[in-house]
Amino acid sequence: MTTLRQVVNVVETLYPLRYAESWDAPGLIVGEPGADVGLVAFAADPTMAVIDEAIERGADLLICHHPLLFRSVHAVSGQDVHGAIVGKLYSHHCALWVGHTNADSAWRGVGQAAADAFGLVDQRPLVPIDDPGSAHAVGLGRVGLLEEPMTLERFAHRVAQALPATNLGIQVAGDLQSLVRRVAVLPGSGDSLFDEVRASGADVYVTSDLRHHPATDALEQARYEASLLSRGLAAPSAGNTGTAGNAVARPALINTPHSAIESLWFRYAPDDIAAAVERATGETIRTTHITMNTDPWTLNIPCRG
């Protein structure tokens, strides 16, 4: 049987830790490297409910996108939930490996999986990583084209249909009847990359956790640039193209539930990892996907005041 050390070595070839952001700490979080691995479970978040399900299914390894210990901790006792999870994983001989921002940037990682799910072609990274050792372009996010232009409203429905079910749903900002073709996608919290999105020339930006002030500022800037262009007072830019009297504010925004868009990674990861382990070791591992909704919101009520 394959050992945890062998599986981790393979996984970190697919999703190299060197791709991680400087503040991030992905990799093996819990587990004995010499332990046998026969069944690998996959889930977006290592919540207690997910841990219980992985153990119930008999998983030897749980691979999650989100970290268990996102910020520094000084104890993992049974007095807090993180310590309780670590203890439960060890007592049931279930390891935990996390692929966070390294999986975001990897080939067939989180960003590409989302862009593929939304139907983008001619893709490139939004924020490239220079990795001469990679046969593919890697980096945070993706920018690509729809095969045919469609209205923002229609594309928003495509995004919603591609995502797993949540109570939160998606939010859209922009002219719903404007045509979009170039799309920027960044699964996870993306309002720190508006400059890169504008420079990409995207008609719409699909991301998560958009805060009021950065989103409002981005929309206002796009509208102002479009108004100048419409009056012939500015030259077309990457973000706003068109002609005098006919300019559209870009990019429009689509805000998605955080875990939902990132869970699209599991369209690829289980099969990719199983195949890579078999190539590297000659051994076969089984995989299982835990699909429970770990988005924190349980009710969404539109305000009609």
The predicted structure's pLDDT at residue 65: 98
**How many domains does the chain contain in total?**
2
**Long-range contacts, stretch 46-54, CB < 8 angstroms, 24+ apart:** 46/85, 46/96, 46/98, 47/294, 48/81, 48/84, 48/85, 48/88, 49/292, 49/294, 50/290, 50/292, 50/294, 51/85, 51/88, 51/89, 51/94, 52/88, 53/290, 53/292, 54/94, 54/290
Is the domain of 279 the same as that of 148? no
Percent above pLDDT 70 for the chain: 95
Going by pLDDT thresholds of 50, 70 and 90, the confidence category of residue 239 is low
- The band of 237, judged by pLDDT with boundaries at 50, 70 and 90, is low
User: Is the pLDDT higher at 54 or at 233?
Assistant: 54
pLDDT greater than 60 at residue 192: yes
Residues 274 and 248 in one domain: no
- Are 61 and 41 a contacting pair, CB within 8 Å? yes
Q: Span 108-127, mean pLDDT? A: 98
Question: pLDDT by residue (tens digit) across 124-147?
Answer: 999 999 999 899 999 999 999 999
pLDDT the model gives residue 232: 76
Residues 78 and 122 in one domain: no
Q: Is the pTM of this model over 0.85?
A: yes
Which residue, among 103, 144, 253, has the nearest Cα to 191 in the 3D structure?
253
* CATH number of the domain enclosing 120: 3.40.1390.30
Same domain for 201 and 94: no
Report the phi/psi class of residue 31: left, alpha or beta, with left for phi > 0 and alpha for psi in -120 to 50.
left
Residue 66 maps to a domain: yes
**Which range of residues forms the domain containing residue 131?**
110-260
Above 50 in pLDDT, residue 29? yes
Cα distances from 287 to residues 71, 78, 237, 263, in angstroms, run: 29, 29, 47, 15
Q: What confidence tens digit (pLDDT) does each residue in 63-111 have?
A: 999 999 988 787 888 889 999 999 999 999 999 999 999 999 999 999 9
Distance of alpha carbon 28 from its chain centroid, rounded?
Answer: 19
Average pLDDT over residues 151-170: 96
The whole-number pLDDT of residue 76 equals 87
- The 10s digit of each residue's pLDDT in 163-191 is 999 999 999 999 999 999 999 999 999 99
- pLDDT band, residue 221 (cuts 50/70/90): confident
- Among 6-20, 153-167, 271-285, 290-304, the minimum mean pLDDT is found in 290-304
Which pLDDT band holds residue 243 (cuts at 50, 70, 90)?
very low
Say whether pLDDT at 242 is over 60.
no
Specify if 161 maps to a domain: yes
DSSP letter for each residue of the chain? -EEHHHHHHHHHHHS-GGGS-TT---EEEE--TTSEESEEEEES---HHHHHHHHHTT-SEEEESS-SS-S--S---TTSHHHHHHHHHHHTT-EEEE-SHHHHHSTTSHHHHHHHHTTEEEEE-SEEE--TT-SS-EEESEEEEEEEEEEHHHHHHHHHHHSPP-SS--EEES-TTSEEEEEEEEEEE-TT-HHHHHHHT-SEEEEE---HHHHHHHHHHHHHHHHHHHTT-S---SS--EETTEE----EEEEE-HHHHHGGGGGTHHHHHHHHHHHHHS---EEEE------S---------
CA distance 153 to 151: 5
Residue 225 lies in a domain: yes
Query: What is the residue-averaged pLDDT of the chain?
Result: 93
* Residues 245 and 285 occupy one common structural domain: no
Confidence of residue 22 (pLDDT cuts 50, 70, 90): very high
pLDDT of residue 78: 84
Same structural domain for residues 178 and 93?
A: no
Q: Which range (4-18, 102-116, 244-258, 271-285) has the least confidence?
A: 244-258
Domain membership flag for residue 302: no
